[in-house]
Each structure stands twice: as C-alpha cells, then as structure tokens.
Structure 1
Amino acid sequence: MIGRLHGRIVERRPPFLLLDVNGVGYEIETPMSTFYVLPEDDAPVTLHTHLAIRDDAHVLYGFASAADRSLFRALLKVSGVGGKMALAILSGMTAAEFSLTVQAADVAALTRLPGIGKKTAERLIVEMRDRLDKLEGTGLPVAGEAAQAVAPPAESAGEEAVAALLALGYKPAEAQRLVRAVAAEGMGTEEIIRAALQGAAGKGK
C-alpha cells in the first residue's frame, strides 16, 4: 500500500496531477481542497495517499492532510459512495463544513454536490454522524467568498475549469453554467473552480 509520497509536481490538470518522485511519475487524483494549498511547480510537496484497487484500474488519491485522507476513507465505507463521489464531497466543502452539515442534518447542502441525491444524503448523515466523532482534524478553515463575475475568463482557464467539474461528476450544462457565473478576467483555473464550487454549494448567500 502506498501511504505517502514526497516529490515535485510536474503537471496539473485539476483534479489530477502528476507527481515526480525520484524520476517516477505518479498520476494522482486529488480533491480541490488539496489543489488550493499545493506549492508552485518544482517545489517539494508531501501528499498522504490512498490506493484503490479495482478490477479495471489502480487509482491513487492524494491529500494535503492526513485528516482529509481519513475523511475520504470513512466516506468510502458508506453504502453507495465511491471514490469519485468522496472526491466531489471533499472538493465541494471542507472537512469542517462537512462535519457541521452532518451534525445539522442538512440534506439540502449535500444534495447540491454532484451525484448525491436525497437518499444518499440521508445515508451520509446517518452513517457519518458517529464516524466523525472518531476522526481528527475536522476543524479546517472555511474557504473565502467566491469572486464576483465581471468578465469571461481566458479560454484555456475556463475550459480547464469545466473539465475539472466534469471529472468531479457535474453534468456538462451545469459545469458550464457554474463557470460562466463566477468567471472573471485574469482568474486562473483553480480560482475559477474554487468560485464555481462555492457557488454550487450556495456560499455567500
């Protein structure tokens, strides 16, 4: 089992990145909460990892903190929740926000995340309530408010943001709508994604 990797980022395609570890490139899927705190390319970074072995592929997930990885693993134990959905949850809200959402039994907040219907949201609340008490590190800072839209983004940044939202489970029309609603001139891909996810979660209202 690969539990941790230390290397340098050589490619970013949110929510994917390529990490060079002593000349070996590891393709890693990460939640956007990890992307937001990554250093510049070529700077050393350590990621806590989880390897998922399926019949058709081996998928490596990476997290900036052990707490995020613990929450990811706890989510995988919930019936009906796979790696893609768990990644979308950690991209759409911080561990602290997820904890508060579960404690408040806020079904509506969870159903705003891609791929989560009412039944799945209710299952998450019931099954995660007790598990969260055993997890450490849920007191993470809440992300800032989304940027106000004033102009379209650069074409490449906007397209990359849409592609990232599609990878997280959003439907094409919804991904494009979210990006258009928050895009501002000069914003980078990760800034657009952050603002789009905040808009999807209803933040800043």
Structure 2
Amino acid sequence: MTKLNLFAVIASLFFMISLVQAGSGNIKNDLSEVAANFEAHGLTKLCLANISNDATVRFKVHAVADAAVAYIRKTANPKLSDEQVVDVVNIALLNSIVYERGIDKRCANVTDGLIGQKRAPAPEATDIATVGRLSLQIGTTLECLVRKPTPIFPQLVQGLRNGLQGIVTDDDPSKTSMAIFATHLTTLSESYIKLVRNCF
C-alpha cells in the first residue's frame, strides 16, 4: 500500500470516529483524559522509535501523523468551544494511538516509562522519538495541573487551542507532519511547564 493510500484509509476513519466521539461534559474529566492520552501516545511513539530500523514502521508512523494533521486542519477553528477543543485533541490522540499500536505488536500496549531510554532510535526516526518525548512530558505535566487544588482549566484549554491553531497555520512546505507536531508540542509543553508550581 502506498503512503497516499494508507493516509486516505486512516484519514477517513479519523473523520468517521470523530462523528461518534464526544467529551463527558466535565472539563476536568476530559482534560484528565487528554493527559492520559498524551502519555499513551508518547509511550507508543517512543516504542516505535526504538524499533525504527524497520523502514515500514517509519512509513506507517508518518502516515498516521499525516492523517492527524489533516484531521486537525479540517476540524479545528478559532470558534470552537472549550469542550470542542478538548474533543478535537482527544480524537486526534486516540486515533493516533489506536493505529500506532497496530503497527507492531511489540508496541501494542506499552506502559514502561523508560522505553525511550532502552535504545537510541535510528537517525531516520529521531523526529518520532522527539514527538514521543514531548507527548509524554505534556501528559505528565497536564495530569499534575488538572489535579491542582486550584485548577486552571481556562489556561490549560487555551494551551491546547493555541497548539491546534499553530498546526492549522503552519504552512512551512519543508516540514513533515512529524516536524509540525514537534514544533507545536514544544510550545505546548513549555506553556504548561510555566504553570507548574509544586507538582513535582
């Protein structure tokens, strides 16, 4: 299957699942789900980066990233409510996790937080590892921020909103979808870290 065909299949299923996936209506619960999904996404990405000497694995991981960017660009707009912003992020993450876990059975259910330290990724997969580390860091930080005694939900959602709009407007033709994610996940991670006080 060519990358274009694989992208088309994954992208179409992203949109189908988005029609039935909805948040709980409780912003704290939904942000907790975002945090858990970022962590799962990061662990899966790091696992795949560790077996990235396989070109087929890299090909499939990049196809999933392409579909996720396409989904975000199709659905994210500045007029989304806070709940809709969280839904878009969760759908993009959940779909990516499902497809990436299916790429190789060794990464089907990763729970080891040290997975990315076991072996350096192939040079061709450093971008995959970078996105994995960023996703894991965002998930860990967000999980802490959601649990704070005085929650700051508006700032947390605004960070997600800014990240989505950054992806939508990033029109650098030299960037792959993975590079686009790396750029805007870095910004999101930094914005969340600035909100941390006594989480760690």
Give TM class, smaller chain: under 0.3
Determine which structure has the larger strand proportion and give its number: 1
Determine which structure has the larger helix proportion and give its number: 2
TM-score using structure 2 length = 0.27
